Amino acid sequence: MNINPAYRKLLSDLNMPLTMEGFLQEQNSLIFLSSSWNGVTLSVLIEPDSHFIKKALYLDENSIHIKILMEYFCKEIINLPVQEAADHTCINLEYKLRDQTVYAPVPGIVTPENADPIFRYPQTLIRKIFKLYREEQMYSPTINFFDRQLSEGWLSLSGADRLKKTRGLLKNFLSQAKIEDKLEVFEIDKDIKLIIRAVKRFEKTDLSKILMDFEKILKQELDENLYVEFEEVKDLNSLRRIS
């Protein structure tokens, strides 16, 4: 399968464990639904009172790239309302999987629809499930008001303290992983987006994997809503140095 270079690294990671592959069975008190498209099947269990997806698995007969994408997707939609999963998960996932060190897949606004055909798999499957859920449960949602709330611990920190904590976390991460690149948290945008810049980079380094691994630590240590974006700069003298 020909994958856009913006997603090739993460969707070609043969070392990624495939823990979400399988097919769910019906379970008491939960709504079982499944959908299939082009050789891929998504099955979910939904809690009817909250409309939250509690479990999700996939089956795929196509390629390792689709398997890896569906791994990420199933992990993303667990503990989300089914409407939120259908509305925004592919948008968020496209951004998370995009290699920030290469050109964007298309000029202008990037969406799952125009980024790469591979995103049609999870998008089509979850929309079919949402349609089935609405019909079978006579569920008529209006506007999607779901918002992933920031933790009290993160909200209580001042801007300076947030920078100090995230910079310290990044410094420790690079040191423990024995990564020679020198990166810094340049700023934090809109409370949740960490802008990462490189003070020193080596061509051999897989920067997209470094950013993904660091983002996982951010979510575990500080707040699950945090994410990172790499910003390429030409004038390194303009960077603020990590203290």
* Per-residue pLDDT reduced to its tens digit, 173-210: 999 989 888 899 999 987 888 999 988 887 777 887 88
Q: Is the pLDDT higher at 179 or at 124? A: 124
Whole-number pLDDT of residue 238:
44
In 3D space, the residue among 185, 210, 183, 206 whose CA is nearest the CA of residue 195 turns out to be 185
Q: What dotted CATH number matches 5-137?
A: 3.90.1010.10
Phi-psi region of 103 (alpha: psi -120 to 50; beta: other; left: phi over 0): beta
Report pLDDT for 136. 95
Q: What is the pTM (predicted TM-score) of this model?
A: 0.67
Q: What percent of the chain has pLDDT over 70?
A: 93
Q: How confident is the model at residue 234 (pLDDT cuts 50, 70, 90)?
A: low
**Can you give the pLDDT at residue 95?**
83
Alpha helices (H) in 81-203, listed in sequence order:
82-97, 112-115, 120-137, 152-155, 159-176
pLDDT of res. 236:
46
Residue type for 215, please? Answer: E
At residue 67, does pLDDT exceed 50? yes
Q: Return the domain boundaries, the chain.
A: 5-137, 152-238
Q: What percent of the chain has pLDDT over 90?
A: 58
Strand partners, 33: 44
Are 223 and 151 in contact by the 8 Å Cβ rule? The answer is yes
Q: What is the mean pLDDT of residues 79-94?
A: 92
Which residue bears the tokens 């949740």?
Answer: 192
The three-class DSSP label of residue 189 is strand
Q: Has residue 126 got a pLDDT over 70?
A: yes
Q: Which whole number is the average pLDDT over 27-51?
A: 96
Give yes or no for residue 19 having a pLDDT over 50. Answer: yes
- Asked whether 105 and 116 are in contact (CB, 8 A), the reply is yes
- Helix or strand (DSSP H, E) at 71: helix 64-77
Under 8 Å CB-to-CB from 23, ≥6 apart: which residues? 34, 41, 43, 57, 59
CATH of domain 152-238: 3.30.70
Q: What CA–CA distance (Å, rounded) separates 226 from 232?
A: 20
- How many Å apart are CA 172 and CA 38, to the nearest integer? 44
* pLDDT above 90 (res 69): yes
